[in-house]
Amino acid sequence: MGGEIREGRFRRLGVTRVAELLQAATDEEPSPEVLARLQGVWPRIESALQRAVEVRGRERTDSLRKKLAEREQKEIQDMRAILEELAATIQRELDQPEFVQLSLFSQAEREQYSRNQRALQARLRAIPEEILRETEAIHARYADPQPRVFSVAVTFLIPTRLI
């Protein structure tokens, strides 16, 4: 966020223009006279600068809210795709015909096979509820983001001709 001072008034500049100016900046110190002029103009521009920070904060907040909403939807889609693929995989396994003759298995092996089948069926039945719970959890993580806007520093870039 930035702006320019002309005739003792602050005017906000766009983010791209500010980035260009910062890229061209040097560490050269201004003369004491220029510093004194900046100190004198500060009381007149402080409130305009604060308003500009607030406006930029709102713009950035809106932008971030959109990105967060997109990220939230992507997380929900990804989670749903993973769990639906798991359900499909389990269903394919349950639909497999029994090529093995269970009569050749020992009693313990047949019991284990039955437990495995019941566990897969239970897992398959639990997936729709899990999708709902995970969707709610994702919504809760993204609910009500709170913006925090504060100025880190004020940097004056002075044209070389004025230094």
Same domain, residue pair 154 and 138: no
Task: Give residue 7's pLDDT.
Answer: 84
Number of domains in the chain: 2
Tell me what the pLDDT averaged over the chain comes to.
Answer: 91
pLDDT tops 70 at residue 100: no
The answer to whether residues 94 and 137 belong to one domain is yes
pLDDT at 159: 86
Q: Residue 155's pLDDT is what? A: 86
Angle between helices 107-142 and 32-95 (to 10 degrees): 150
Examine the domain organization and report whether 97 and 58 are in the same domain. Answer: no
Please report which confidence band the pLDDT of residue 99 belongs to, taking 50, 70 and 90 as the band edges: low
Check whether 152 has a pLDDT greater than 80: no
Q: Tell me: do 152 and 119 sit in the same domain.
A: no
Tell which wins on pLDDT, 15 or 69.
69
Do 21 and 40 fall within a single domain?
yes
Q: Tell me the residue range of the domain where 75 lies.
A: 71-142
Does 127 score more than 80 pLDDT?
yes
Residues 51 and 80 in one domain: no
What string of DSSP letters covers 49-86? HHHHHHHHHHHHHHHHHHHHHHHHHHHHHHHHHHHHHH
